[in-house]
Each structure stands twice: as structure tokens, then as C-alpha cells.
Structure 1
Amino acid sequence: MEMREAILSLHSEGETCQEIARTLSSLKVTKSTAWYTIKRYKYTGSVENRPKSGRPRSIRTRKLIEATRSKIRRNPKRSIRKLASEAGVGRESMRKVIRKDLKMKAYHLQKRQLPSAAMVTKRLSRAKVLRDWMKAWPEKSIIWTDEKNCTVEQACKSHNDRILARNIKKVPVNNKTIFRRQHPASVMVWAGVTSCGKKTPLISIPEGVKVNQVLYLEMLTEKVLPWAQTQHWDHSYCFQQDEAPSHTANKVQEWCQKFFPEFWSKEMWPPSSPDLNVMDYAIWSILERKVGVKTYSNVEDLKVALLAAWADLDEEVIRRSCGAARKRLNVVIKAKGGYCE
């Protein structure tokens, strides 16, 4: 209102729209704003806002919005149904208050392992060590590795997987159901990706065979090391593995130290840190989305699908996923050893 009055006052003194905009530049008045204000005054004879068209709000009032904001601030776990019931309004109205007026969304609560104080301290100190290593050797490729158990059953995410229908009762059972067995057949696979976009072989571990230090050393000796030796590395590479018992065994640690050019020992990798391993936070999820679209009749069919999805994994996706590792280390350090997602 004050700005409009100032524009009209200068206009009455004979100033042009361009001169008014220059004089009132501190109020962020443009030439078009001055022209529109003058035109509207000549048409209506007033600087007041015009009456808004349509029916005025009767439900999503400022009072309801502020009351809802206050309730959510005190307890953000309230459901939309409960908030609507307490306010005496419909759920759709309350949903609009939350989404449009308060700009909020409903997020799923996350389940996490409760970290001990010692684990948090160790995560923080080792995350700093890894971050400093990456800063010192940015040109070296890191081979990120991990194992995963894959079952023949179709993957299902209850908060994402949906089916569209007018009446769910009329949808055939096979179309609306993902069946589960008590003990589905499965296969354990081992794989790794590098920060330069390479992929190790996808290695299947026979069903029922426990991955101990003997089997793991045999796999590293016969498959992983020969693969690494045949690759072209611009500035050498570093081998990463988590803290699984077969990885932290003394014989395995000594072998890795002897045969890999660079190796992150068990004293370097942060404990309970799947959120820092590229395979865990990115690659396995991509593979699961590709392979878990259906249920397989046997393990052999599952292996074929896994190999096809692994071969189809794009190098650029791998590089981008690996590029996020350093950012995640910084988040863990900023969180004083807490989780980064």
C-alpha cells in the first residue's frame, strides 16, 4: 500500500514511469509496476486491493494452518486422520493444509541398528581416515566389494508397489498378490565396482556353502586377483571390503596386503557402515530393481537374470554411485559418526 501511494505521489508531480522506477529503486519498483499501478488507480480511483473472486476460505483459514503447525511441532508423528479429527475438518482439507499451506510431506520412519558410543566414535575416526586417504590419492581407483543373498522370489516394497483397479475384490489373486515361501531358494553372489566405472565378475557361491576365510581366499586368488591384473589402471587401485568375519581373518588381511597394490585393512573400514559402501547404498538396489520384477522357478534362472542385469549395468551409473562415497563420508563426519541417510 505504501509503495502504491509513493508511485501515485510521484506521478502527480509529473514524473514518468521510468523516473518513478529510478526514484523508488530501493523499494524494487519497476517501470511496469509503476505503469500498472497508475493505470489501475485511473480505472478504480483507489489503491486498495480488489475483492478476490470466488468463495472465501471457510476451512483452510490462517487460524487452522497455525494451529496445525503448532500441533505438528509438538508431535510430528500425528497422522492426517487424527489431525483432521481433532480440528473437526475433513481429511482432504487437512491434507491440503499440510501439503499446500505448510509445504510438508509424510515420510516413512526408518529402522536402524542402535549404535553404541564406542561404535559411533570408531565410525567418526575411521571416516576421517578414509576421507584423508581419498584426498591424498584422488587419482587411484577404489574397488568397492560386497556379498548379497538373492532369492528366487519377486521383490516387494509395500510402500511403492501398487495395483490400479476399481474394485480390488474383482482382481484375480495372481495379479494382486506376491506370494512368499517359508524358505525360498537363494544364491549368494559376490561382486565389486570401481570408481572408474569397471565391474568385477559376478561370482556365485554354491547354495549351503558358508563363506569362510578359506572359500573367500580361494575366490580372491582364482577370480578376483586375475581379473584385477588384466585390467588397465591409470593410477593403480585400492581394494575395499567390509568387516565380515571372512574378510577380517588374519590370513585374509595378510594376503590382501601382499597381493593388492593398495588395501584398506580392518583397522581402516568403519564398523556397521553399509551406508558408506557403494555396493550397499546403490549397486545392489539397482540390481534388485532389474531382477526382482518376477518370481523365478529355480536358482539357475535367477543366476541367468543376475548375470544379464550385471552385464547391463552402465559405467556412468557406477561412476556416479562411487562419486557419492566421499560426500557420504563428509556427512558421517558432520554427524559426529552418525548415519548419513
Structure 2
Amino acid sequence: MKSSPHRPSIELLFKRGLGSAEIARRLQISSSTVRNVVAAIKKRGDASEVKKSGRPRSVNTRNTRAIIKKRIIRNDGLSLNRMASQLGIARSTVQSIVKNDLKLKSYKLRRGQYLSDKSKAMRLEKCRKLLQHFQVRRVSDVIWTDEKIFTIEPLPNRQNQRQLLSKDDSMSPKRRLAHNPPFPEKCHGMLEGKIAGKVFATVDDLKAALEVAWASIDDGYLRRTVNSVKKRLRACVKARGSNFEILL
């Protein structure tokens, strides 16, 4: 049972004949705490704390936890296996400290578009102009194209490239992005999900697959995409032209 600083007071009031509810009210503590102490008094005759059994911690200590925390703060992409090897302790111990004591979780890197400082500034300027434009024009009156850099090269190994973050930081700008190496062929970004993961021997094969994917898109999908433009523009402005998907 967890030690309570109110044990002596609970014992004194109980021996005076007060009930658990009255003791909890007088001391302004949880009634469950009072009941546990009273149960110990009835069983052993006093409220003294019982010596805990089991072997004391020798590896998962305050010093070890502090070292691991400092290393993760410096680099949240550290490998648990490498950290365990460097500290000379079991990986399971490191994993337990990271998960249970530091309350961190391993996240895969997000996929995202690479943006230089120049491209961020251009995106921010264009988004602001478009938002001003839509104050007098309807979104449905505009003819849209959705072009982006598209790659047929494999994705980075996001399975092994991880980040150790708290739950609150998992949807923040701290979450790193895995960028694909650009291929000089452009296509409509909305089609990427339909052919993702497929391998094409030539650019012509890629173009043929894109045409088939384009024909399968329904009008409702396009309409929802257009209607989301204002929301995405505002998110881009809020992110100062940077990656803004976490804000949607």
C-alpha cells in the first residue's frame, strides 16, 4: 500500500471511534485512503508502513533515466538498440524507461514535400493573394490544376527511421518529414494515392497508369477537393508557407 502522510492522524481518529467517512471529511482526504489505512490497523493493530518486498532497482535508476532523457532531447531519432549498447544495459530496460517513465512513443517519419526557404516565401505570398481573390470570387468559378513533383523512386525506410516523441508532440511541427528524391516528371498530385507503391519501368508506363487513375476519379472527389481550398490556404498562411498538413 502506498504510504500516506496522514497515517498517524487516521489511526488516532479511528481509535477514538470515528468512522471512515468522518475521518476523510475532517482530514479532507480520499475516503479510499482512509479505508485502506483502517483495514491495515484492523489487520496488524497499527498503521505503520509495511516494508516492501522485492529486489531494489539496480539498472532502471534515476541516473540512468536522466541520461536517456538527455540523449533523446539532443536527438529524438536515436535507436533504442544503439542506446542500450552504449549504456551497457538491456534493450528491454531502455524501452521500459522510454515508454513507462518518460512517456514517449516511437513514431514513423511523416511523408512530406521538401520546401526551401525561397519556396516557403513564395507559397505564403501566393496563398495570401488567393485568399484576397476569393473574397470577391467563388472557388467554383476557378479552373484548378494540381501539379507537384512526383517520384517513381522508392520511399525512405520509414520503418527503421523513427522519432521518440510524447503524445502531445506527435501532431506538432517537431514531427520530422521524410522527403522523396525528386524525379523531373510532373503529374497531378491527387493521383498519387491511386498508384502509390507501384513500380514503373519507364516514364511512359507511369503516364499510362496516371491516365487510367484519372479516369477513375469521380466528380464528387474533385468537388470536395475544390471546396477544401480555402481551408488549406489558411493553414498554409498559418504555417508561414511551410508544411501545414498537421493543421488540417
- Common fold by TM > 0.5: yes
Does structure 1 conserve the Cα–Cα contact (< 8 Å) formed by 2:59 and 2:89?
A: yes
1:12 matches 2:15 = yes
For 2:37 and 2:79, how far apart are their aligned partners in 1? Answer: 45
Judged with a 3 Å threshold, the aligned counterparts in structure 2 of structure 1 residues 32 and 156 are, in CA distance, closer, same or farther, namely: same
Judged with a 3 Å threshold, the aligned counterparts in structure 2 of structure 1 residues 63 and 323 are, in CA distance, closer, same or farther, namely: farther
The aligned residue for residue 159 of structure 1 is 158
Does structure 2 conserve the Cα–Cα contact (< 8 Å) formed by 1:187 and 1:299?
A: no
Counterpart AA for 1:91: R
For 1:20 and 1:320, how far apart are their aligned partners in 2? Answer: 62
The aligned residue for residue 47 of structure 2 is 46
The aligned residue for residue 332 of structure 1 is 239
Counterpart AA for 1:290: K
Compute the TM-score of the two structures, normalised by the length of structure 1: 0.45
1:302-341 equivalences under 5 Å are 302-303=209-210, 305-307=212-214, 310-311=217-218, 318=225, 325=232, 328-329=235-236, 331-333=238-240, 338-340=242-244
Aligned Cα root-mean-square deviation (Å): 4.6
Question: Gaps spanning 5+ residues in structure 1: where?
Answer: 162-183, 191-278
Counterpart AA for 2:7: R
1:291 matches 2:198 = no
Does structure 2 conserve the Cα–Cα contact (< 8 Å) formed by 1:149 and 1:189?
A: yes
SS at match of 1:2: coil
1:1-341 equivalences under 5 Å are 1-25=4-28, 29-44=29-44, 45-48=46-49, 51-52=52-53, 55-76=55-76, 78-104=78-104, 105=106, 108=109, 112-116=114-118, 145-148=145-148, 156=155, 158-160=157-159, 189-190=187-188, 284=190, 287-295=191-199, 298=205, 302-303=209-210, 305-307=212-214, 310-311=217-218, 318=225, 325=232, 328-329=235-236, 331-333=238-240, 338-340=242-244
How far did 1:9 drift? 3.5
How far did 1:306 drift? 0.8
The aligned residue for residue 241 of structure 1 is none
Question: Gaps spanning 5+ residues in structure 2: where?
Answer: 161-182
SS at match of 2:42: helix
SS at match of 2:6: helix
Compute the TM-score of the two structures, normalised by the length of structure 2: 0.58
